[in-house]
Amino acid sequence: MKRKGHAMRYLGNGSALCAIVLCAIVGCVAPKYVPKSMIPPPIKYCNSTIGHMSGARPWILEGTCCCTPTSKLIEEYHKAGLGIALEDLIKKYKEAGITTDLDHKNCNNCCDHGPHVVKGGKCMATPTMGTSNFEEVISGIFTQKESNGKKKLTAHRP
């Protein structure tokens, strides 16, 4: 009877230990799920996909507009009181080594000029809708990552 009691106790202890180990493993393997918010972060930088935010100045002129330079965009700038010609704007981007949709498209800022200017790179091609990069570029909120040994910069301009 005593032996049986001992055996039961050992079995109980063993089970408890197993349960603790199992819980620890499960806890380590699967982090608690926290869903992403359905409320979008505020828009900080505009681009050609979401459309121009009225009043935003071009990125190259210390602004928050990352739209591709077009004659339509220049009209918007003029309406907002910014007198700049299309050729001059394109020239300014070229001089700064910034590439736009006029140079290449659909790279999602993963090209050699990347990341996006907002992230400290030299690529201002419109990012691909429905990707993390797209959201980060618009909101200006992103985590610092390292890739290819190069440290990417965080958003550096208001």
Partner 1 sequence: MKARRLMGCCVAFLIVTAAGCARHFSLGPFAQMDYGRSIAPGKQAFQRGDNEKSVDQFKKLKEKQGINYPLYLLFLGRAYMASGDFFDAQKSFLAAEKTLDETLTGAETGINLVVSDPQKIYRGRPEDGIMAHYSNALCFVKDRDYENAIIELKKSLLADKGKKAEQDADFSPVHYLMGISYGEMGLFDDALVALRSVTRCNPECAYGWYEAAKLARAQKNEDEYKRCIDKFRSLCPDSCLNSAPGKDGREEFVILLDCGYLGPPLSGMAGSFKKRKGSYAEKYARVYIDGVCAGRTYQLGDVGYQASTAGGRLMGKVARKVIGTVARQGLSLASFGASGMLTGGGEADMRFWETLPGEIHLFMGVAPPGLHTIRLDFFDYKDRPLERYQQVWHFINLTKGEMPILFMRSVSDIHNQNKKS
Residue range at the interface with partner 1 (CB under 8 A); choices 4-12, 26-34, 62-70, 86-94? 26-34
Among 1, 4, 26, 37, binds partner 1 (CB under 8 A): 37
Q: Does 144 interact with partner 1 (rule: CB under 8 A)? A: no
Q: Token pair of 154, please?
A: 């965080």
Q: Does 111 interact with partner 1 (rule: CB under 8 A)? A: yes
Do 124 and 108 meet the contact criterion of CB atoms below 8 Å apart?
A: no
Q: Does 124 interact with partner 1 (rule: CB under 8 A)? A: no
Q: Token pair of 93, please?
A: 């981007």
Decide whether 56 or 138 has the Cβ nearer to partner 1: 138
Do 92 and 77 meet the contact criterion of CB atoms below 8 Å apart?
A: no
Q: Please, what is the angle between helix 71-79 and helix 86-95, to 10°?
A: 100
Q: Does 145 interact with partner 1 (rule: CB under 8 A)? A: yes
Give residue 123's identity as a one-letter amino acid code: C
Which residues have a Cβ under 8 Å from the Cβ of 87 and sit 6 or more positions away? none
**Where does this chain bind partner 1 (CB under 8 A)?**
30-41, 43, 49-51, 104-108, 110-111, 127-131, 133-135, 138-139, 143, 145, 147-148
